[in-house]
């Protein structure tokens, strides 16, 4: 039978010695690692198990492309001549939010060459318009 932890601690205070009965009561208040804890002794176990999803449902959910659409964007395909643009922090004018500006970081194809680099200004079809950090032919 379980004995309250504070009661057990009071038996072992400095200068005190627990009786044999108290000592045994302290040890029988805890589950030994070799003992199986009965499910009935685990509080709310039935509620927790009833609330869990079955493996087949969870596996189907993981593969569902429409699960949590608000959290994950759809795949976007960027056409040749278009870029993935990351606005430079200095380019914060809201009226230019969808306009390529100098210093914006771009990723995409210029002609047949894949680049990552900063836009310098000028013709986006010319490599000279970019300060290129990555270039793949």
Residue 45 φ then ψ, to 5°: -60, -45
Q: Are 107 and 84 spatial neighbours (Cβ–Cβ below 8 Å)?
A: yes
Separation between Cα atoms, residue 115 and residue 109, nearest integer Å: 6
Residue spans per domain, the chain: 5-63, 83-136
Q: Which residues does 133 contact at the CB level (< 8 Å), separation at least 6? A: 116, 117, 118
Separation between Cα atoms, residue 62 and residue 91, nearest integer Å: 38
pLDDT in tens for each of the 137 residues of the chain? 688 999 999 999 999 999 999 999 999 888 899 999 999 999 999 999 999 999 999 999 988 878 887 776 666 778 877 889 999 999 989 899 889 999 999 999 998 899 999 999 999 999 999 999 999 98
Please tell me the pTM assigned to this model: 0.46
Instruction: Give the largest Cα separation in the chain, rounded.
Output: 91
Q: Which two tokens stand for residue 76?
A: 């976007």
In order of 19, 55, 56, 60, the CA distances from 66 in angstroms are 65, 19, 17, 11
For β-strands 130-136 and 113-119, DSSP reports them as antiparallel
């Amino acid at each position: 039978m379980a004995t309250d932890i504070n009661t057990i601690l009071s038996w072992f205070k400095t200068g005190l010695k627990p009786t044999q009965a108290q000592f045994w009561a302290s040890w029988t208040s805890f589950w030994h690692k070799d003992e199986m804890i009965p499910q009935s002794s685990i509080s709310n176990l039935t509620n927790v198990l009833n609330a869990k999803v079955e493996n087949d449902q969870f596996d189907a959910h993981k593969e569902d492309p429409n699960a949590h659409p608000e959290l994950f964007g759809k795949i976007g395909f960027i056409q040749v001549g278009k870029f993935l643009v990351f606005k430079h922090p200095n380019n914060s004018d809201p009226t230019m939010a969808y306009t390529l500006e100098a210093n914006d970081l771009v990723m995409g194809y210029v002609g047949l060459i894949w680049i990552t680099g900063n836009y310098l200004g000028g013709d986006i079809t010319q490599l000279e318009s970019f300060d290129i950090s990555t270039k793949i032919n």
